[in-house]
Amino acid sequence: MAKGIWVFAEVKDGNVRKIGFELLSQGKKMAEKLGEELVAVILGSGVEGLTERLAEYADKVYVADNPALAQYTTDAYTTVLTNLLKEHQPSIFLCGATVVGKDLSPRVAARLQTGLATDCTGLAIGDNGLLVARRPVYAGKAYVEVVCPVSRPQMASVRPNVLEMLPADGAKKGEVIKVEVKLEPASLRTAIVEVVKAAGAKVDLTEANIIVSGGRGLKGPENFKIIEELAAVLNATVGASRAAVDSGWREHGDQVGQTGKVVTPNLYIACGISGAIQHLAGMGSSKIIVAINKDPDAPIFQKADYGIVEDLFKVVPVLTEEFKKLLSES
Amino acid sequence: MNVIVCMKQVPDTETLIKIKPDGSGIVKDDIKYVMNPYCEFAVEESLRIKEKHGGQSVLITMGPAKAVEALRTGLAMGSDRSIHLNDPAFEGADGFATAKVLAEAIKKEPYDLILCGKQAVDDDMAQVGPALAELLNLPHVTLITKLEFSADKKKAKVEREVEGGKEVIEVNLPAVFTCQKGLNEPRYASLPGIMKAKKKEVKAINAAALGLPGDQVGAAGSKTQINRYLPPPSRPPGKVISGEILEAAQKLVKLLREEAKVV
């Protein structure tokens, strides 16, 4: 019978991403409830040094360290992972709903002919011992609880920043197990020929702690300068409404909403955004929402924790100065 | 080049979603259905490929009778013909069961390339493209924003969006790509296009015609099941901060620090 909770520890820029530890923290609670082991699996090149911290969370750490895994490619990662999962037959396999996790998990699930819940915001073990994955549908206008009753492993990808990360257990020392990597060159059908970093790349919207967003109320691309200045003070990422993106004021990658990015920051500051339903769907699960808009009837105020009904061109620069003062004091 | 476009009909993004009182699903009355916005990028790209390199743009969807409207929209944009996978047995399919039916139908078609949207904006699963590629034993690239072919058309070079930048990937064809906003600007159907679309082929195919047994399709063939639908978590009522601009800004900063503790 399938046993064990496995967590994919995604590596980015030489470190395990925080989502890996968030999943291990949640996985630990669920493993205790099920009486099963917690396992981390890490793929990459020169990543053996990263296993130590994972072993403070997991009972076992499988590490596949090979130059062919230096960069994520679908075929290589799918092959290495599915071989491991076939061999060890865990009951649950979790990864982050990151660009990598969202590319990898459906491919792995299809190869293993098992069920996958993507982009989850909550995980629990039900009374019958099944993994119950909660996830938004219609960009957060509704939620569903999904189970995978028969096939194994039960798979889920989980959004960054929604699960609580617990401190490592310093006394714990999980067993580190090296995995032999065998990949047929012909089986690797895609090749990364170039990686282009966006100029002045901040934290991606989907992972940002603070987002300052601008909409139609900005009136033109040049006025996003005041949004950028506020964002710089808060170390925040700049977002935009669909109206601003469709007007060509911002790149499509900045768009927050149902046809853009669904975001879950701790603080979302919406400036000159009226709050079309498809925008609200994309940012409605942010922890704290601030709205600045001169129209008191703008729907954004129904989602906002704090609202200022005023002209954003007057408020935002003052707010930037006030945050500057606050953050220089602390 | 022959391009197959997988598409889906979904509620318009302006739709308010209401959940049935027993949590078994959403209330489907009064919903306006449209072609999934990400599928529009896939249709548009297939038309640009056809215009530049020749071949056919073929649409395929799995869905109930009304899903024909989405196929007609794509045909009006300029696609050549379409396949409608329609059978009550297909209902309730998850990503895997959907990919399975699409894969069986696509195996009977000639193609050089398969395009999908990056996800459907109803269930937001983002699974069908990669799962379809796996079932057809093809490579896939997700989230593409640019597509070019090698001179011999045996390879494609695509750009895809990743966190904080982009990747340029070379891949052998045939392959499955999922399309992201930024790939192109989808055209609107013209009036002559709409007229022509009425005469274009919509081929209906059911489970028996695919040779798939009932336990491999729809809810029965799905690996996951939905236990219940829930409303989004409710938010406490917000505070409107009044006062002169400086005063309001100071109050807000204080509240964010002391009450919300987010800065």
- Interatomic CA distance for residues A68 and A73, integer angstroms: 9
**Domain contains B97:** yes
Together in a domain, B132 and B159:
yes
CATH number at residue B84: 3.40.50.620
Per DSSP, the residues of A189-231 read -EEEEEEEEPTT--S-GGG-SEEEEE-GGG-SGGGHHHHHHHH
The residue-averaged pLDDT of B213-223 equals 97
Domain around A164: 5-187
Regarding whether B119 and B41 lie in a shared domain, the answer is: yes
Note the pLDDT of residue B68: 98
Residue B136 and residue B252 share a domain: no
Any A CB within 8 A of B175 CB: yes
Please tell me the distance from the alpha carbon of residue A125 to that of residue A167, in angstroms, as a whole number.
Answer: 22
Q: Are residues A81 and A219 in the same domain?
A: no
- On whether both A182 and A247 belong to a single domain, the answer is no
Q: What is the CATH number of the domain that holds A260?
A: 3.40.50.1220
Mean pLDDT check: name the lowest of A36-40, A87-91, A303-307, B160-164.
B160-164
Q: Indicate the average pLDDT of chain B.
A: 96
Does B71 share its domain with B118?
A: yes
Distance from C-alpha of A10 to C-alpha of A162, rounded to nearest angstrom: 17
Tens-digit pLDDT profile for residues B147-161: 999 999 999 999 998
A211 in Cβ contact with A267 (< 8 Å): yes
Q: CA of B119: which chain A residue's CA is closest?
A: A259
Asked if A289's CB is within 8 angstroms of B127's CB, the reply is no
For residues B47 and B138, membership in a common domain is answered with yes
- Our count of domains for chain B comes to 2
Q: Does residue A193 lie within any of the structural domains?
A: no
Residue ranges of B 100-159 with Cβ closer than 8 A to chain A: 121-131, 133-135, 139-143, 157
Q: B236–A305: do the CB atoms touch at under 8 Å?
A: yes
B166 and B251: one domain?
no
Residues B206 and B142 in one domain: yes
Residue A131 domain-assigned? yes
CB B59 within 8 A of CB B35: no
B227 located within any domain: no
Q: Which residues of A106-132 are buried (b: 16+ CB within 10 A; e: fewer)?
A: bbbbbbbebbbbbbbbbbebeeeebbb
- How many folded domains does chain A comprise? 2
Residues 92-131 of A with CB under 8 A from B: 98-99, 102-103, 106-107, 109-111, 113-119
Query: For residue A197, how many other CB atoms are within 10 A of its CB?
Result: 10
Q: Do A190 and B170 make contact, defined as CB atoms within 8 angstroms? A: yes
Do both A234 and A148 map to the same domain? no
Please determine, for residue A201, whether its predicted confidence score (pLDDT) is greater than 80: no
Q: Which amino acid is at B38?
A: Y
Query: Does residue A196 belong to any structural domain of this protein?
Result: no
> Is B31 a domain residue?
yes
Which residue type does A210 have?
I
Q: Is residue B228 included in any domain, yes or no?
A: no
Q: Give the pLDDT score at A200.
A: 61
Q: Does A57 reach chain B within 8 Å, measured CB to CB?
A: no
Please indicate, yes or no, whether residues B39 and B145 belong to a single structural domain of this protein: yes
Give the pLDDT score at A265.
92
- Residue B227 touches chain A, beta carbons under 8 Å: yes
Q: What percentage of chain A has pLDDT greater than the value 90?
A: 88
Last residue of a domain, one of A187, A220, A254: A187
Chain A's closest residue to B121, CA to CA, is: A138
- Is the domain of A37 the same as that of A113? yes
User: What pLDDT is recorded for position A145?
Assistant: 98
Among A187, A215, A234, the domain-final residue is A187
pLDDT at B230: 96
Based on the fold, state whether residues A211 and A174 are members of the same structural domain: no
A131-137 and A142-147 strand pairing: antiparallel
Is A247 in the same domain as A143?
no
| Residue A199 scores a pLDDT above 70 | no
Residue B37 contacts A, CB cutoff 8 Å: yes
B132: pLDDT confidence band, cut at 50, 70 and 90? Answer: very high
Query: By the CB < 8 Å criterion, does B65 face chain A?
Result: no
Residues A78 and A112 in one domain: yes
The separation between CA A283 and the C-alpha centre of its own chain, rounded to angstroms, equals: 14
Are residues A257 and A123 part of one domain?
Answer: no
In a domain, B257, yes or no: yes
Per residue in A55-76, pLDDT tens? 999 999 999 999 999 999 999 9
For residue A319, give every residue at least 6 positions away whose Cβ sits within 8 Å of its Cβ, in sequence order, or none: A230, A292, B249, B252, B253
Q: Is residue A197 part of a domain?
A: no
Q: Answer yes or no: is A33 within a domain.
A: yes
Q: Quick one: A308 and A177 in the same domain?
A: no
pLDDT band at A269, cuts 50/70/90? very high
Looking at the fold, whether A12 and A115 belong to one and the same domain comes out as yes
Q: Is the pLDDT of residue A204 over 90?
A: no
ipTM of the shown complex = 0.95
Q: Are residues B200 and B260 in the same domain?
A: no
Q: Are residues B200 and B241 in the same domain?
A: no
pLDDT for the residue B28: 92
Q: Which among A196, A278, A323 has CB closest to B253?
A: A323
Lowest mean pLDDT among A4-13, A259-268, B188-197, B198-207: A259-268
> Whole domain around residue B36: which residue ranges?
3-216
Identify the pLDDT of residue B261: 94
Among the partner residues B13, B19, B226, nearest to A258 by beta-carbon distance: B13
Per-residue pLDDT tens digits for A126-155: 999 999 999 999 988 999 999 999 999 999
Per-residue pLDDT reduced to its tens digit, B91-129? 999 999 999 999 999 999 999 999 999 999 999 999 999
Percentage of chain B lying above the pLDDT 90 cut: 94
Q: Are residues A287 and A323 in the same domain?
A: yes
Q: Do A192 and B168 touch (CB under 8 A)?
A: yes
Average confidence (pLDDT) over B125-146: 98
**Do B168 and B139 belong to one domain?**
yes
Residue A22 sits in a domain whose CATH number is 3.40.50.620
Asked whether residue A198 carries a pLDDT value surpassing 80, the answer given is no
| Same domain, yes or no: B170 and B126 | yes
Residues whose CB falls within 8 Å of the CB of residue A301, separated by 6 or more in sequence, listed in order: A275, A291, A293, A307, A309, B238, B240
Which among A107, A117, A319 is the nearest to B134, CB-wise? Answer: A107
- Please tell me the number of Cα atoms within 13 Å of A100 on its side-chain side: 24
**Residue B245 pLDDT > 70:** yes
Residue B257, pLDDT score: 96
Please report, for chain A, how many H helices and E strands are present, in that order. 9, 18
Q: Measure the CA dihedral A329/A321/A279/B166, to 10°.
A: -80
- Judge contact between B37 and B44, C-beta under 8 A: no
Q: Which residues of B touch A203 (CB under 8 A)?
A: 164
CB–CB of A138 and B19 under 8 A? no
Q: Evaluate whether residue B223 is within a structural domain.
A: no
A180 and A267 together in one domain: no
Query: How many C-beta neighbours within 10 Å does residue A198 have?
Result: 15
Place of tokens 């620069």: A317
d(CA A14, CA A121): 26
CB of A310 less than 8 A from some CB of B = yes
- Rounded-to-integer distance, Cα A2 and Cα B135, Å: 24
**Would the pLDDT of A276 be above 70?**
yes
